[in-house]
């Protein structure tokens, strides 16, 4: 192949130009994202059972639906929450890679089969399904600048005019309004009802029968007589739409003509659909909504669409209403991608500097420099065809690939220059002679570096998606590098290089002269040292065994993790108070949080949400998003998001009585959870009950926090609180002639609320709710005075047919995979990683919690467990694949061992540096380790390939090893230093996405800092030891056999080359 392109350089240029052109055209079309679609698709099912307790919702709604979910295809796990407001939420999580549209269809079809088994109050309102993603992309706030509109007015405006436009945008998974739209509220006075001998059930019946939609038909519709000349639609006023009409609803009409109307016993008004939630922006009331991504959405594209839509909608806002986006995760995503782009450019510059120092000639440096952009743009074109995006992972692969891309070109240029300098051949002839000598090595290196990433393509789960992105980008770029080294680079050498007279070596002056002299001396000492080390092969192998053992020991000491936490420019503060507190108390705690953050210099905005948190919904829940200033204004460790969140937790957790307040940072991949740290589901598998389960959770939290390795272990959910147990005494009910269903109806309507239906309100159908007014449900006595009608038509006090007692019960019931559960979360203490704390928790659960208590990991922890179990298999397969490729290339089972034995020493460098820096065995570490496996083998191949050929030509085993090491010493150091300089920008990264860059940068840097010196020292020894041990005699194949004949015919030429080696210093300037 090389010979063809040496004689057809324009052909080679055309191929390179076409590759560059296709890549340049593909680049603007590439989608940009922080990460690929890593998170497993999640379908959320929502239902509402008004007036029901958490236990009733769990029994009557969630458990019935869950029982049918187990047969859904590709199901990973499911969880549910039933709260004290009658809300049921079930999140169904599927295997990564599952089509989310099909998953939603499967869930809807499955649930449809059990809809008839659900309570009518649930089916009347319907079930909703959405494609869910953890966390929020952004929070949008609308406020009235002139004060003409309340937050409730604006929330209703959002529901009518904004929600649908945003919800149908591509990429939007869910729309959550932190307030409520308008609704018709009927506040019934129980005392007035009693005075008129009515019950709250009479109100429900009257509304249900008098607020109806009547379809009267059409006057004169066919069939009709031929004489019929007109037709007209008949309209009837069965459906009411104004407060006045509802006020006039007839509850009772007496024989004397007296009429009792709804206005006589109730206050009817346009109020809110619910009064649980509200929002404030920097301490001021606002109407806010949050946008979540769908599982396959692109964050940057979705953010752009939301902004464009809001800009268009804002043109029609009422006077005085404007919007802001106080919380937005998209800018960080864009900044982190741009940061990696800058790192890519920095790496290219550093690599070219290293090449120039070694090659010391602009023409020689230009050739590898031209290969890099062609290979990278070619990679972009193929990634677009494969449906990939430009993301952090593919960009990391390209940054690491830069050092690899120049390797093959450097090997070609260095060998061509050596022949030109020693023989005096012109560039074309020198290139023709050089390429057969190194083509085998280039093919071998390319195959090894491509196939070493092949096992990553078969990994599963979210970690598998990450591995695949990296592997594909690396493999494509390396394949382009190998192809260009055999086509484009030889053509460039033949056309761009200038001839060097035989035996002409210009003595360099200045820095290059000093560099060449030092390097020459080092090379001579190295060659002599290699010969001496080969004589001490046994001692060297013993040292090797000790080093490998050390690597294995350090590897076991590395803590496990999924991904390093990133400073994403904001913190999340979760607030939980004891159940039973008022909304005013929660508002006060939120105000305390706002006041604290207002004094934090790095704070930009804070959005406080009342009645909602990641623990659940309720009057005792709250959440605050604090956006921090730009990274340029936060340059010290104390100003990082991690430090700010830690200080806030210390100040707020113990500074507010009876409140659990903690600030956290989001995980690196927000789609995998709401917070960093661990996510554990403690399950009641022995049917021990809610109290036993909570006691077990409290014991686990106590032991975890006492371990010293875990901080802020906590229950992620609302705790139990005071509950009034009103049990219907069936014997008394029968005695007084009261139906049990009527008692339930009165209780659920008066204390909870009763959904009557919908009414048209300014073009929108909105809910109608009936409930006792505030004075009718403030105390137990008020509830017991409620009336229920018996079968004789008389009113009976509720107190006569019920038994009452105060208890302490759950404010929400959680289930995970059909078991009652409690969610726990927390973080690692300084010096520890998630893998450490997960091991601690596992030990406590298995050894100290009662029998019948089980557990499962969820969210990020689930993915971490899955990734950790695959890592050893992945690394083992990578080494095996490299061995098989080399065995095929060398037609030998033993020679590949001499190259593979260096791999553990490269891994030693990765493990040692990671351990010294206190970093973890995470996905980036594992990707770095795979890269080091390939690069370590690459350096060894450069020596083994030459040594094998020299030995096959008839030289002694030791002479072949020493000579190959001498010939390849310079290119090995050149390519290795180029790669090392290319990854330094990753290792020293700051700002957005720095933690991930450092993790992969240091992993590869440590491996190459170890693999480079160990390769040149140990590989010649390995080659001699292995071939002696297996008594292997390499044989030359194909073209190499012809080279042997040529070498034998030109023995004198060979002698001259090796005689000149001692005087060879570096590529020289051509005059």
pTM: predicted TM-score of the whole model, two decimal places: 0.78
What are 100's two structure tokens?
Answer: 């989310």
Mean pLDDT, residues 674-687 taken together: 84
pLDDT tens per residue across span 279-310? 888 888 889 999 988 867 788 889 999 999 99
Mean pLDDT, residues 945-969 taken together: 84
Distances (CA, A) of 144 to 154, 312, 324, 593, 742: 8, 18, 12, 24, 45
pLDDT above 80: residue 677: no
Among 593-602, 934-943, 1050-1059, which range has the highest average pLDDT?
A: 593-602
Q: Give the span between the Cα atoms of 648 and 628, in whole angstroms.
A: 13
Q: Give the span between the Cα atoms of 887 and 1034, in whole angstroms.
A: 12
pLDDT tens per residue across span 91-138? 898 888 788 888 899 999 999 888 888 888 888 878 888 877 767 888
pLDDT above 50: residue 18: yes
What are 634's two structure tokens?
Answer: 């936060």
Mean pLDDT, residues 937-959 taken together: 84
Q: What confidence category does residue 864 fall into, taking pLDDT thresholds of 50, 70 and 90?
A: confident
What is the full DSSP assignment across 424-435? ---HHHHHHHHH
Please tell me the predicted confidence (pLDDT) of residue 996: 85
Is the peptide bond prior to 223 cis by the omega test (within 30 degrees of 0)?
yes
Quick one: CA torsion of 908, 913, 914, 919, rounded to 10 degrees?
160
Q: What confidence category does residue 509 fall into, taking pLDDT thresholds of 50, 70 and 90?
A: low
CB 78 within 8 A of CB 93: yes
Q: What confidence category does residue 865 fall into, taking pLDDT thresholds of 50, 70 and 90?
A: confident
Q: Give the span between the Cα atoms of 419 and 966, in whole angstroms.
A: 15
Mean pLDDT, residues 790-797 taken together: 89
Q: Give the span between the Cα atoms of 339 and 341, in whole angstroms.
A: 5
Q: Give the span between the Cα atoms of 670 and 462, in whole angstroms.
A: 13
Q: Give the span between the Cα atoms of 157 and 182, in whole angstroms.
A: 9
pLDDT above 60: residue 944: yes
Distances (CA, A) of 295 to 45, 98, 145: 15, 10, 36
Please tell me the predicted confidence (pLDDT) of residue 312: 95
Give percent of the chain above pLDDT 90: 19
pLDDT tens per residue across span 543-583? 999 999 999 999 988 887 777 888 888 899 988 888 777 78
Mean pLDDT, residues 342-349 taken together: 82
Mean pLDDT, residues 448-467 taken together: 82
Residue 532: exposed, middle, or buried by beta-carbon count in 10 A (0-12, 13-18, 19+)? Answer: exposed
Please tell me the predicted confidence (pLDDT) of residue 275: 82
Please tell me the predicted confidence (pLDDT) of residue 1052: 45
Helix or strand or coil: residue 31? coil
CB 80 within 8 A of CB 26: no
What are the DSSP E strand ranges found in 84-126?
87-94
| CA 106, 108, 109, 114 torsion-angle sign | positive
What are 519's two structure tokens?
Answer: 């390097």
Please tell me the predicted confidence (pLDDT) of residue 585: 87
Choice among 168-177, 466-475, 863-872, 1056-1065 with the minimum mean pLDDT: 1056-1065
The alpha carbon of residue 1054 and the mean position of all alpha carbons in its chain are separated, in whole angstroms, by: 58
Q: Give the span between the Cα atoms of 411 and 709, in whole angstroms.
A: 50
**How many CB atoms are closer than 10 A to CB 13?**
15
CB 905 within 8 A of CB 548: yes
Q: Give the span between the Cα atoms of 874 and 933, in whole angstroms.
A: 12
Please tell me the predicted confidence (pLDDT) of residue 1069: 40
**Which of 437, 399, 396 shows the shortest CA–CA distance to 419?**
437
pLDDT above 80: residue 867: no
CATH architecture of 522-557+892-1035: Up-down Bundle (1.20)
Please tell me the predicted confidence (pLDDT) of residue 833: 76
The single residue listed with the structure tokens 């030092």 is 518
Q: What confidence category does residue 638 fall into, taking pLDDT thresholds of 50, 70 and 90?
A: confident
Mean pLDDT, residues 233-245 taken together: 81
CB 809 within 8 A of CB 836: no
Q: Give the span between the Cα atoms of 456 and 462, in whole angstroms.
A: 12
CB 785 within 8 A of CB 200: no
* Ramachandran class of 849: left when φ > 0, alpha when ψ lies in -120 to 50, beta otherwise: beta
The single residue listed with the structure tokens 């990671």 is 914
The answer regarding whether domain 1-33+335-506 maps to CATH 1.10.1740.10 reads no
The alpha carbon of residue 675 and the mean position of all alpha carbons in its chain are separated, in whole angstroms, by: 11
Helix (H), strand (E), coil (C) string for 800-833: HCEEEEEEEECCEEEEECCEEEEEEEEEECCCCC
Q: Give the span between the Cα atoms of 833 and 709, in whole angstroms.
A: 9
Please tell me the predicted confidence (pLDDT) of residue 420: 82
**Which of 459, 364, 378, 437 shows the shortest CA–CA distance to 406?**
364
**Which of 759, 769, 755 shows the shortest CA–CA distance to 211?**
759
Q: Give the span between the Cα atoms of 535 and 523, in whole angstroms.
A: 19
Please tell me the predicted confidence (pLDDT) of residue 1066: 40
**Strand bridging mode 266-272 / 182-188:** antiparallel
Distances (CA, A) of 953 to 412, 915, 956, 1018, 1038: 22, 45, 9, 23, 14
Please tell me the predicted confidence (pLDDT) of residue 673: 66
**How many CB atoms are closer than 10 A to CB 872?**
11
pLDDT tens per residue across span 690-707? 889 989 998 998 998 888
Mean pLDDT, residues 744-769 taken together: 87
What are 686's two structure tokens?
Answer: 């022995």
Which is more confidently placed, 1035 or 74?
Answer: 74
Mean pLDDT, residues 401-427 taken together: 80
pLDDT above 80: residue 809: no
Q: Give the span between the Cα atoms of 21 and 28, in whole angstroms.
A: 12
**Which of 848, 835, 828, 813 shows the shortest CA–CA distance to 713?**
828
Please tell me the predicted confidence (pLDDT) of residue 510: 67
Q: What is the DSSP letter of 921?
A: B
Mean pLDDT, residues 958-977 taken together: 84
**Strand bridging mode 284-293 / 138-144:** antiparallel
Q: What is the DSSP letter of 32?
A: B
pLDDT tens per residue across span 1024-1060? 998 888 876 665 544 455 545 544 544 444 444 444 4
pLDDT tens per residue across span 206-222? 998 888 877 667 777 77
Q: Give the span between the Cα atoms of 773 and 770, in whole angstroms.
A: 9
Q: Give the span between the Cα atoms of 336 and 392, in whole angstroms.
A: 8
CB 713 within 8 A of CB 664: no
Domain ranges within the chain, ordered by starting residue: 1-33+335-506, 522-557+892-1035
Please tell me the predicted confidence (pLDDT) of residue 748: 83
Mean pLDDT of the chain: 84
């Amino acid at each position: 192949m090389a010979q063809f392109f040496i004689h057809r350089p324009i052909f080679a240029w055309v191929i390179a130009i076409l590759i560059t052109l296709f890549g340049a055209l593909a680049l603007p079309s590439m989608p940009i994202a922080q990460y690929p679609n890593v998170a497993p698709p999640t379908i959320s099912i929502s239902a509402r059972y008004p007036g029901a307790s958490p236990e009733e919702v769990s029994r009557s709604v969630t458990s019935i639906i869950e029982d049918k979910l187990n047969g859904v295809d590709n199901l990973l796990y499911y969880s549910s929450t039933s709260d004290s407001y009658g809300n049921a939420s079930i999140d169904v999580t599927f295997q990564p890679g599952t089509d989310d549209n099909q998953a939603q269809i499967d869930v809807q079809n499955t649930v449809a089969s059990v809809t008839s088994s659900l309570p009518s109050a649930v089916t009347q309102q319907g079930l909703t399904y959405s494609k869910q993603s953890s966390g929020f992309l952004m929070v949008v706030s609308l406020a009235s600048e002139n004060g003409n509109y309340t937050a409730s007015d604006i929330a209703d405006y959002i529901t009518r005019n904004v929600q649908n436009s945003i919800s149908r945008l591509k990429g939007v998974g869910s729309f959550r309004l932190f307030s409520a739209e308008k609704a018709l509220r009927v506040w019934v006075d129980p005392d007035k009802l009693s005075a008129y001998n009515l019950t709250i059930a009479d109100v429900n019946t009257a509304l249900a029968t008098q607020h109806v939609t009547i379809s009267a038909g059409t006057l004169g519709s066919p069939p009709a007589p031929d004489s019929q000349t007109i037709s007209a639609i008949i309209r009837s006023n069965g459906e009411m739409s104004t407060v006045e009409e509802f006020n006039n609803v007839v509850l009772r009409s007496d024989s004397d003509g007296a009429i009792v109307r709804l206005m006589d016993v109730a206050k009817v008004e346009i109020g809110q659909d619910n009064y649980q939630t509200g929002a404030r922006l920097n301490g001021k009331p606002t109407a806010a909504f949050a946008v979540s991504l769908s599982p396959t959405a692109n964050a940057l594209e979705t953010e752009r669409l939301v902004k464009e839509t809001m800009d268009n909608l804002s043109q029609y806002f009422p006077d005085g209403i404007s919007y802001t986006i106080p919380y937005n995760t998209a800018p960080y995503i864009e900044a982190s991608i741009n940061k990696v782009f800058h790192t890519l450019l920095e790496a290219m510059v550093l690599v070219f500097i290293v090449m120039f120092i070694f090659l010391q000639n602009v023409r020689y440096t230009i050739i590898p420099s031209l290969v890099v952009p062609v290979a990278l743009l070619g990679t972009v074109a193929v990634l677009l065809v494969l449906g990939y995006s430009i993301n952090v992972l593919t960009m990391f692969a390209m940054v690491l690939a830069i050092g690899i891309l120049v390797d093959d070109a450097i090997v070609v240029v260095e060998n061509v220059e050596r022949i030109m300098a020693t023989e005096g051949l012109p560039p074309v002839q020198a290139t023709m002679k050089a390429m057969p000598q190194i083509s085998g090595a280039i093919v071998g290196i390319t195959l090894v570096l491509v196939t070493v990433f092949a096992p990553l393509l078969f990994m599963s789960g979210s970690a598998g998606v990450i591995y695949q992105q990296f592997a594909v980008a690396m493999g494509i770029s390396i394949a382009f590098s190998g192809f260009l080294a055999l086509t484009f680079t030889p053509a460039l050498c033949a056309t761009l290089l200038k001839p060097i007279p035989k035996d002409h070596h210009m003595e360099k002056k200045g820095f290059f002269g000093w560099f060449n002299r030092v390097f020459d001396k080092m090379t001579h000492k190295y060659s002599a040292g290699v010969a001496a080390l080969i004589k001490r092969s046994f001692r060297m192998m013993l040292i090797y065994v000790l080093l490998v053992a050390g690597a294995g020991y350090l590897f076991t000491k590395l803590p496990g993790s999924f991904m390093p936490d990133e400073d994403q420019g904001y913190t999340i503060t979760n607030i939980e108070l004891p159940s039973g507190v008022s909304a005013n108390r929660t508002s006060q705690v939120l105000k305390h949080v706002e006041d604290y953050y207002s004094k934090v210099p790095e704070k930009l905005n804070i959005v406080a949400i009342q009645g909602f948190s990641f623990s659940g919904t309720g009057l005792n829940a709250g959440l605050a998003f604090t956006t921090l200033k730009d990274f340029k204004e936060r340059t010290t460790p104390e100003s990082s998001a991690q430090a700010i969140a830690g200080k806030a937790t210390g100040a707020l957790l113990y500074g507010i009585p009876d409140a659990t307040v903690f600030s956290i940072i989001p995980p690196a991949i927000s789609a995998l959870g709401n917070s960093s740290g661990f996510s554990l589901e403690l399950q009641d598998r022995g049917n021990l009950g809610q109290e036993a389960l909570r006691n077990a959770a409290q014991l686990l939290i106590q032991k975890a926090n006492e371990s010293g390795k875990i901080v802020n272990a906590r229950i992620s959910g609302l705790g139990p609180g005071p509950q009034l147990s009103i049990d219907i005494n069936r014997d008394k009910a029968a005695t007084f002639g009261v139906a049990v269903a009527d008692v339930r109806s009165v209780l659920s309507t008066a204390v909870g609320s009763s959904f009557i239906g919908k009414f048209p309100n300014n073009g929108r159908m909105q809910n109608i709710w009936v409930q006792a007014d505030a004075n009718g449900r403030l105390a137990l006595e008020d509830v017991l005075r409620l009336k229920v009608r018996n079968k004789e038509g008389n009113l009976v006090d509720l107190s006569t047919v019920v038994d009452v007692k105060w208890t302490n019960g759950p404010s929400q019931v959680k289930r995970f995979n059909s078991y009652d559960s409690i969610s726990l979360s927390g973080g690692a203490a300084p010096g520890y990683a998630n893998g450490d704390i997960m091991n601690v928790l596992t030990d406590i659960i298995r050894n100290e919690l009662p029998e019948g208590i089980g557990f499962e990991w969820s969210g990020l922890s689930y993915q971490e467990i899955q990734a950790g179990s695959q890592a050893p298999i992945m690394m083992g397969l990578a080494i095996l694949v490299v061995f098989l490729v080399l065995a095929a290339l060398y037609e030998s089972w033993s020679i590949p061992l001499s190259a593979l034995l260096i791999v553990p020493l490269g891994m030693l460098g990765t493990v040692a540096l990671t351990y010294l820096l206190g970093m973890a065995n995470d996905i980036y570490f594992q990707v770095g380790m795979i890269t080091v496996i390939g690069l370590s083998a690459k350096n060894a191949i450069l020596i083994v390939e030459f040594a094998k050929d020299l030995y096959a030509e008839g030289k002694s085993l030791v002479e072949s090893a020493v000579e190959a090491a001498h010939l390849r010493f310079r290119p090995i150091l050149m390519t290795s230093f180029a790669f090392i300089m290319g990854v330094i920008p990753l290792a020293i990264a700051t700002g957005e996405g720095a933690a991930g860059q450092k993790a992969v940068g240091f992993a590869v840097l440590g491996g190459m800092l170890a693999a480079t010196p160990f390769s040149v020292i140990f590989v010649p020894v390995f080659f001699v030891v292995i071939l002696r041990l297996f008594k292997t005699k390499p044989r030359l194949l194909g073209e190499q056999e012809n080279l042997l004949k040529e070498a034998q015919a030109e023995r004198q030429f060979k002698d001259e080359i090796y005689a000149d080696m001692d005087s060879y210093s570096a590529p020289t300037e051509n005059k």
